[in-house]
Structure 1
Amino acid sequence: MAGVTKVEIKESVEELHELLLKQKTASSFERIQALYLLKIGQVKTIQDVAVVVGRARVTVQRWLKNYQESGIKGLLTTLKSPGRPAIISLQVREQLDKELQESEGFKSYEEIRTWLKAVEGIEASYKVVHDTVRYQMKAKLKVPRAVGIKYDSEAESEFKKTATIPRSNKKHVIAPVDRQKTMRYWCGDESRVGLKTEAGRLITKKGVKPIGIMQWKRDNFYLYGLVEPLTGEYFIWEFSHLNTACFNIFLA
């Protein structure tokens, strides 16, 4: 009969039936089913097999060719498509990884998109950038440690190495009070009033602590104040600096 397949199936009907029951995917089941149908003689041609399993004739031909060359193992082997090349290549990821290891990090995934376009010439969607950075590169938004705009990381490191910690605190001596005079007890404090830059979370690599650079306004002022707990009476004076000169004027 024209079109009758001449594939020699080595497995028995029982073995094929057992294999059918073990398959966990539809694709694997269909391939074993093709052999089973040919073995029991229910179908004679490749076209008939294709009709029963619901596949194209060329697909069934490829299955049987794989079986002839490599047996059951070859029949069940599925070649995965390589798919499209990654938008963010490995080389670009390595460069991005270096940026994410800096404590300044990125303010948002949108900023990373801008960086990719400006530095690497890559236009990637927000989803691609988010999935790549958050789940593949394990970097996420974190609350930064606030430091001044003049912050110098090298100077801080050097200070920690050379600074000495005093072993004892200085003692404050209070002069004796004339018992003939009335004494009032006042509590004093100073406060700085001003504004600083509001900064949100930053994106850095896992294990890298972010640092948020803050810009303080230059027109800060200080409030020196005294309050008497007994009466609630208070006194407040505004000064430009927190230093000995201003403090002496306040006490005068």
Structure 2
Amino acid sequence: MAGKTSITIAQSLEEITARLHQASQPIVKERLQVLYWLKQEKAPSISKIAKAIGRHRGTLQEWLRIYRTGGLAALESVKSSPGGGNRVIPTWAEESLSKRLQDPENGFDSYGAVQEWLSETLGVEAEYHAVYQMTRYRLKAKLKVARPQHYKQDRDSRLAFKKT
């Protein structure tokens, strides 16, 4: 019959409930919840279950396909993405740059200047975006440059203004 899900769940309702309580990852809990609902006597339709958990019915059908082929163990296994690539700027160079940024007398005018300093002094070649990301977000440093002052401006009157 169309619209009827034909799946036989081998585990008992108690076993699914126990696994549901033991699950630590939210995606695994969602998958087990689908099995729990389908194992009940008056099981709702896939569309109703999908709407209840906020997933597309195709996603639920995919989970059920995984369950049919690999069982509960396959359904509980979640692929994790790789941890990312290697950093372009090594940690020793990052520590050296951090020390240089903390020195108030030796600042940088721009991230391009940081990029040049890394290549000339430390021999580390990195793209502008990588230097910006590391400096701004990992080292939490902002490159601050004093605002230019007009040459006709009187220095004494400016200092007097700052006092008031």
TM-score w.r.t. the length of structure 2 is: 0.56
The letter for the 2-side match of 1:108 is: L
- Contact persistence 2:47–2:57 (CA under 8 A): yes
Q: Does residue 1:128 correspond to 2:134, yes or no?
A: yes
Summarize deviations over 1:51-108 as a string: whole Å, max 9, x none: 222211122122112212222221122222348756x43xx53xx74x689xxx5423
**How far 1:30 sits from its partner (Å)?**
1.4
SS of residue paired to 2:16: helix
Letter in 2 for 1:22: Q
Q: CA deviation at 1:117?
A: 6.8
Give the CA deviation at 1:121: 4.4
The residue number in structure 2 matching 1:49 is 49
Match of 2:10, SS state, is coil
After TM superposition, give the deviation of residue 112 of structure 1 in Å: 5.3
1:66 maps to which residue?
66
Q: 1:54 to 1:121 in 2, by over 3 A?
A: closer
What is the CA-CA distance between 1:8 and the residue it aligns to?
A: 2.1
Normalised to the residue count of structure 1, the TM-score between the two structures is 0.39
Distance 1:115 1:2, change over 3 A: farther
Residues 16-45 of structure 1 show CA distances to partners (whole Å, capped at 9, x for unaligned) of 122222223432221111001111143354
**Which has a greater percent of helix?**
2
Whether the 8 Å contact between 1:20 and 1:33 is mirrored in structure 2 is yes
- Equivalent residues in 2 for 1:35-46 (5 A)? 35-46=35-46
Q: What corresponds to 2:156 in structure 1?
A: none
Count of equivalent residues: 124
CA displacement at 1:11 relative to structure 2: 0.2
Question: 1:15-94 alignment to 2 at 5 Å?
Answer: 15-82=15-82, 85=85, 88-89=87-88, 93=90
Q: Percent identity?
A: 30
* Partner-residue secondary structure (3-state), 1:120: coil
CA distance in 2 between partners of 1:100 and 1:30 (Å): 41
Q: How does 1:1-252 map to 2 (within 5 A)?
A: 1-82=1-82, 85=85, 88-89=87-88, 93=90, 97=92, 105-106=96-97, 107-108=100-101, 113-116=115-118, 120-123=125-128, 124-129=130-135
- Larger CA Rg, structure 1 vs 2: 1
Q: Greater share of strand residues, 1 or 2?
A: 1
Question: What CA distance in whole angstroms lies between the structure 2 residues aligned with 1:29 and 1:6?
Answer: 22
Which amino acid letter does the alignment assign opposite residue 19 of structure 1? R
- Are residues 57 and 117 of structure 1, via their aligned partners in 2, closer, same or farther at CA, if it must alter by over 3 Å? farther
Higher relative contact order (CA 8 A, sep 6+): 1
Partner SS for 1:60: helix
Unaligned runs of 5+ in 1: 135-252
2-structure distance, mates of 1:63, 1:46:
11
